[in-house]
Amino acid sequence: MVKTLVLLVIGILWLILATTLMGFSPTYLPTPDVVLIVVIIFSFQYSFSLGGALSFLLGLLQDILSGGIIGLNALSKTVIFSLTKTIARRFYFSNVVSKIAIVFLAGIFDFLLAASILFIGGKIHSTVAVLARQLFLQIFFTGLFSPLVFLITPAISDLGERGSEEGFRYGHKKARTRGI
């Protein structure tokens, strides 16, 4: 329970940090989608019910802080969690490269899902070239930022309860040294 709360609070703090740091970057960079990275961490650690609810909540917070359509990121992050959870059941992500790769793939899917919803709702007038450029920049910087989030978030959350709800192995050093 403590670990769940700690991880949720960490996710919220990452989100708030992302909103305040962007204004101080030396050149224009897209804000990394930290919620996406935290949701992927949730998919490695939590069950469908708990992780899905947490992902929905973080996506909702992302919508609220952006001032946009409420539910857009809540929907996409919940779907991303479900897909990542389903895929992660079959594969063991033990290295940084795999984690970054899944962040890239999840980022592409997240972007395309949100773009589809906005297109259907008539909220997008951009050309494909503009969208493709924005997609590339967004997932590139999210992928670059992900190792930092992967490193810090589980380390802090381990201060709470240990062990995942379903025994799914997260590629963490301590898990490996325990010989699990």
Partner 1 sequence: MVDLKRRRGTLIIIFLVLFAVVLISLQISGRYEGDAPHNVGLKIFAPWQRAFHWVVDSIRTVFRNHVFLVNLKEENRQLQEEVRRLKRENSELKESAQAAERLRRLLLLKERVTAPIISAEVIAFSPSVWFRTIVINKGSRDGVKKGMPVVMWEGVVGRVIRTSSSTSIVLLIIDRNSSMDVLVQRTRARGIMDGEGGARCYLRYAPRTEDIQVGDHLITSSLGEIFPKGLSVGEVVMVEKKEYGLFQTVEIRPSVDFFRLEEVMVILTPARKREG
- Residue of 31, 38, 20 lying closest to 156 (CA atoms): 38
Please report, as ranges, the residues that interact with partner 1 according to CB under 8 A: 15-25, 27-28, 30-31, 33-35, 47-49, 52-53, 56, 59-75, 78-79, 81-82, 111, 114, 117-118, 121-126, 130, 133-134, 138
Smaller CB distance to partner 1: residue 31 or 94?
A: 31
Closest contact distance (angstroms) between CB of 93 and partner 1 is 20
- By beta-carbon proximity to partner 1, the closer residue of 66 and 95 is 66
- Residue 140, SS3? helix
Provide the minimum distance between the beta carbon of 60 and partner 1 in the complex, in angstroms, as a whole number.
8
Q: Exposed, middle or buried, 97 (CB in 10 Å: 0-12/13-18/19+)?
A: exposed
Nearest distance, CB of residue 42 and partner 1, angstroms:
12
Among candidate residues 67, 142, 145, the one with its CA nearest the CA of residue 106: 142
If the CB atoms of residues 24 and 91 are measured against partner 1, the closer one turns out to be: 24
Q: Is the CB of residue 59 less than 8 Å from the CB of residue 74?
A: yes
Tokens 């970057």 correspond to 25
Which residues, including other chains, have CB under 8 Å from residue 71's CB and lie 6 or more apart? 60, 63
Smallest separation, CB 177 to partner 1 (Å): 30
Residue closer to partner 1 (CB basis): 94 or 164: 164
> Cβ of residue 179: shortest distance to partner 1, in angstroms?
29
